Amino acid sequence: MTFGSRRLEAHSTEDVAFLQEVANHVAIAVENALNYERAQSSQQQLTRERDRQRLLLEVNNAVVSHLNLRELLTAISACLRQVVPHDFSGLALYDSGQHQLRAHVLNFPRHQDFFEADFPIPEGTPPMLAFTSRQTVLRNHLDPTKLPDALRKHLGTEGIRSGCSVPLISHDRVQGTLDLISSRETAFTEQDAELLGQIGSQIAIAVENALAYQEITELKNKLAEEKLYLEEEIRTELNFEEIIGESAALKRVLKQVETVAPTDSAVLILGETGTGKELIARAIHNLSRRREHTVVKVNCAAIPTGLLESELFGHERGAFTGAIAQKVGRFELAHQGTLFLDEVGDIPLELQSKLLRVLQEQEFERLGSTRTIRVDVRLVAATNQDLGQMVADKQFRNDLYYRLKVFPILLPPLRERPEDIPLLVRHFAQKYGKRMKKRIHTIPAEALAAMTRYPWPGNVRELENFVERAVILSQGQTLQIPIDELKIPAGIGSTKVVPLKDAEREHILRALEETHWVIGGPSGAATLLGMKRTTLQAKIRRLGLSPPS
């Protein structure tokens, strides 16, 4: 028994030693495994840190190398996708004018799609929360119904599962947000949110620089457009360089100009062709607080109907066939100045509503753009047409007519201020004599009398052209007036010239008498005069006509 017991004891000792040796080997293996896991974890951490540092470097390079918001977002999105995978990125910027956070640019890398956006960001959405809280907002279970309709239209409800919005803070001011969206749930981690928060300040600086560059570019383009416009205006001959005349009729007009010029009210200048409407418009501008800025002229009758909207409001590149570059409209050029719309009666009906909106709201959109542009423009319009009659004939909007006719100024035709004709003749003779290097000292009295008697249907413009021709014909110091050209056509000199209103009254009254005051019907006065029955009735009321008792 003793022997057997010793054998059992010896065997147990060996087993213990063996087990101890196995345990040592297992401990070494476990330690090696733990060391390997720690090494792997360290390696992964180092890799992540390397990727993050590389991302920060790439974002920094994108920040310093892109001054265009579209290019900036594309470059930043490409950098982020390597470390923070996503399906969509966007920039929302704060619009101080509208006091709104608005989507500005959107990028869809998978579809190679990019477009400029302009829609408000609703309350309660991650971008708005990030903007107001100034903290990164992470949502791994997004409700697509709470996102803007415009965004869901492009992404689809199936493409929205999680998102991360980062406030862009620069100089303690929130510029807007950078927004990432994924079609996978829990696509973004807290580490991703922390990383995006780190690069948010870099992107904020880039956005601030891009906006400043955009503003400088727009101002540069506007100045270039203004320079071209002013050069064109300098090359354009004005009707006359200053207002000439001492007649009571002209002095009444100048008194009206002096009264309305300091205000910002719209002015409607009425008068026949060649009476100097543009000159009066410039006088209004020069006497206003806007005189340090530009007065921009648009001749609505000289621009094709299809191009007038683009001329007034501008267009974006690609807005229509042939729009190969962005164009600044005349309203933008006239910002803080005066816009002179000549021949305003030729503006087509479909464009009048947009013009009315600009006059009322002082804002508009360029063709091909959804971005609202605000302007500060004083409008002066002019026409030789009867806008009141055009309103009655449904050819001109009555609301626009009354908006333009805040302060009407009626320019008298030259035949109603004949005492100004000698002064104008002397002024034009000196002007063109100096230009042609001719000394004109004498104007024959007979010629002056003939010019004073002539009715000048083309008004001051016709008189100026006539005097210029006389200067060309003059060989000495006496103005050679071609008096033969001043013969009054038959029917004009035989009767006294009467105001147009009186002539219209006589014409309508004659038609009414011939039709025994029957207005409508195929044999009525309206048919005889070639106008609508309602138009004739309005004219009868305006002229105070009534049938004999």
Tokens 């508009």 belong to: 364
CATH number assigned to the domain covering 237-410: 3.40.50.300
* Secondary structure letter of residue 79 according to DSSP: H
Adjacent-strand bridge partners of 270: 383, 410
Out of 1.10.150.170, 3.40.50.150, 1.10.1240.10, 3.30.450.40, which CATH number does the structure's domain 65-213 have? 3.30.450.40
Cα separation, 38 vs 21, whole angstroms: 25
- The pLDDT, as a whole number, for residue 63 is 67
HSE on the CB side for 385, CA within 13 Å? Answer: 19
Helix (H, G, I), strand (E, B) or coil at 112: coil
At 100, which helix (H) or strand (E)?
strand 100-108
Topology (CATH level 3) of domain 500-543: Arc Repressor Mutant, subunit A (1.10.10)
All CATH 3.40.50.300 domain ranges in the chain, comma separated? 237-410
Topology (CATH level 3) of domain 416-486: Helicase, Ruva Protein; domain 3 (1.10.8)
Mean pLDDT of each 10-residue bin along the chain, 549 residues long: 46 73 80 72 62 68 71 79 81 84 74 63 87 90 71 64 88 88 84 83 83 79 67 45 81 91 94 91 92 90 84 81 78 92 92 91 86 92 91 91 93 92 91 90 87 90 92 90 75 50 75 81 75 80 75
- The pLDDT, as a whole number, for residue 62 is 66
Note the pTM of the prediction, 2 decimals: 0.55
All CATH 3.30.450.40 domain ranges in the chain, comma separated? 65-213
Q: Using the Cα atoms of residue 385, residue 387, residue 391 and residue 392 in order, give the sign of their dihedral.
A: negative
CA 191, chain centre distance (Å): 44
Q: Residues 545, 508: contact at Cβ < 8 Å?
A: yes
At 23, which helix (H) or strand (E)?
helix 2-65
- Structure tokens of 532? 């609508």
- Structure tokens of 273? 């062709």
Q: Are strands 113-120 and 314-315 parallel, antiparallel or unpaired?
A: unpaired
- The pLDDT, as a whole number, for residue 159 is 63
